[in-house]
A and B are shown apart, each in its own frame.
Chain A
Amino acid sequence: MVKAMQNDYAVRVEHATVRFNLAKEKVDNLKEYCIRLAKRQLMYQEFLAVQDVSLTVKPGEAWGLIGANGSGKSTLLKLICGILKPYRGSVSVRGSIAPLIELGAGFDGDLTGRENVFLNGALLGYPQKYMEEHFDEIENFAELGQFLDSPIKNYSSGMKARLGFSVATMVRPQILVVDEILAVGDAAFQKKCLARMEEMLAGGTTLLYVSHSDASVRSICTHALWLNRGVCMAQGEVNEVCDAYQDFVKTGKSGRTKQGGV
């Protein structure tokens, strides 16, 4: 029984640690490197952005990642998307993944909105034919109208976000990773995005969601993980973890560290 449950996962992170070099002067050229090598000054100042975090997400679950700025939430998401590789530990993912770390990250300012839709679709690994079939849907959701054929560099950040969100959610990923991206859109669009995310969840999509909005995490997610300075403080049922985090924010110290859930 236990074994069967362990095998049924969408994302599994095991004892993952991510290390960065925080040395003040980063050596990124040959000249510096040779000089420092000769002087024996090649510094390496270790910084562990995520320390020994384990997490198992089952298909269809929605996880919220919460914590203060710089606590490693985005790093954990990047780890899951495969952008970063763990220094120690392992990450395995089953299913197609659509990372929304930043909306419109793949947009090229010189291309038009229309051309960017295809470029962005290709970045997410979808063939052109698939994008052509779903183009109308994307166009309708983004509501850009006549601007779709002007270069993206003339877009406002909200317009870019609309187009980015439309493409990323239209491709129907099995796992959707959303990192604090809805902040730029206007209220109507944010509402639309939340509705779309809920619709996808109902359709069985697994969600990993970073947000500083307590209310939106509680309303969308079923589970939550609280990170503090790269360490997992609590994980489990969303309200318990959010309560613990809110207590911590108010009192400045952790009332309880609860390891629930998995």
Chain B
Amino acid sequence: MQRLNNWVRGFLQYRGLLRQLVMRDLKIKYRRSFLGYLWSVLNPLMIMLVMTVVFSTMFRRNIENFPVYLLSGQVMFNFMTNSTNQGMRSILGSAALLKKTYVPKYIFTLAKVTSCLVDFLLSLGALALVMLFTGVRPTPYLLLAPLVLMQLYVFCVGVGLFLAQATVFFRDIQYIYSVITMAWMYLTPIFYPVDMLPERLQGLIKLCNPMYCYISQFRGVVLYGWMPAWHLWAYGSLAALLSLTIGIVSFLRSQDRFILFI
């Protein structure tokens, strides 16, 4: 109880730092580019255009509104890979700082994932544009989208924390993780419909791939105007909490030894 109390006090004291770090990331990212924040919107939009052209011959017949289908999955998955990759490097990247001042170390990981979230929210502007353009009618279920994004954010914070602490001790996790995310992307129905896969693989993906769950929920509320099934909510929230727990526990257990390795 005492520890929790201390933790909350520490967080309140340093939430200003969290804000400063997020602002720093965004400023540095956009300061030197001519179009500034517009890139967050333009980038997914252009990738979506390329991919739509590439895949339109392959899958278009099976999927209604392919551009929105593709873009909604793609921005979600990109957020996951970006935030976990940046989170993974957050501790090593702040090594100089961690050696010289005392701050709660998780703040750096949290800040990276959060700045990716801001980026992601901007890129939703691209999705809104495409939805408008292709004539998707928004339904009241759209208001549930923040709940879906919340699950994904919590999930990514957990994965980021776990990877950040593991990378301090084993630097080559970075290389392994890039292979994992590639496989993960192909095993997530981003540019193909899930029922295209053999049935056993489908079952496996639905069971073991939280990204499938988040993307399905998201497409449900933005594209199809569905209320996502309760088991998707339950599975998604559980996966997020499980990831967060593993992340926090592994991080807390090893954070005192970071200084000896960075």
Among B10-18, B131-139, B231-239, the stretch in contact with A: B10-18
Which residue from B97, B170, B172, B173 sits with its C-beta under 8 Å from A123? B97
Q: Give chain B's interface residues, CB within 8 Å of chain A.
A: 13-14, 16-17, 19-21, 24, 27-28, 31, 96-103, 169-173, 176, 256, 259-261
Task: Check A2 for interface membership: any CB of B closer than 8 A.
Answer: no
Interface residues of A in 107-124 (CB under 8 A from B): 108, 110-111, 115, 118-119, 121-124
The 5 A-B pairs with the shortest beta carbon distances in the complex, nearest first, are A105-B100, A122-B17, A29-B172, A82-B102, A30-B170
CA distance A29 to B102 in the complex (A): 26
Task: Check A243 for interface membership: any CB of B closer than 8 A.
Answer: no
B171 x A29 contact (CB < 8 A): yes
CA distance A30 to B173 in the complex (A): 7
B170 x A28 contact (CB < 8 A): yes
Total interface residues on A, using CB and 8 Å? 34
**Which chain B residues border A84 with CB–CB below 8 Å?**
259
Which residue from B16, B20, B101, B170 sits with its C-beta under 8 Å from A101? B101
B17 x A99 contact (CB < 8 A): no
B99 x A28 contact (CB < 8 A): no
Q: Give chain A's interface residues, CB within 8 Å of chain B.
A: 20-21, 26, 28-31, 33, 78, 81-85, 97, 99, 101-102, 105-106, 108, 110-111, 115, 118-119, 121-128
**Which chain B residues border A127 with CB–CB below 8 Å?**
16
Which residue from B27, B98, B171, B172 sits with its C-beta under 8 Å from A115? B27
A30 x B176 contact (CB < 8 A): yes
B16 x A128 contact (CB < 8 A): yes
**Which chain A residues border B101 with CB–CB below 8 Å?**
81, 83, 99, 101, 105-106, 123-124
A97 CB → nearest B CB, Å: 8
A111 x B24 contact (CB < 8 A): yes
Q: A28-B169, A83-B102, A99-B102 are in contact. Are A122 and B260 (CB under 8 A)?
A: no
Q: A30-B172, A122-B17, A125-B14 are in contact. Are A20 and B260 (CB under 8 A)?
A: yes
B5 CB → nearest A CB, Å: 17
**Which chain B residues border A26 with CB–CB below 8 Å?**
261
A28 x B100 contact (CB < 8 A): no
Q: A28-B169, A119-B20, A126-B16 are in contact. Are A110 and B98 (CB under 8 A)?
A: no
**Which chain A residues border B259 with CB–CB below 8 Å?**
83-85
Q: A29-B170, A101-B101 are in contact. Are A125 and B27 (CB under 8 A)?
A: no
**Which chain B residues border A126 with CB–CB below 8 Å?**
16
Q: A110-B31, A111-B24, A119-B24 are in contact. Are A33 and B170 (CB under 8 A)?
A: yes
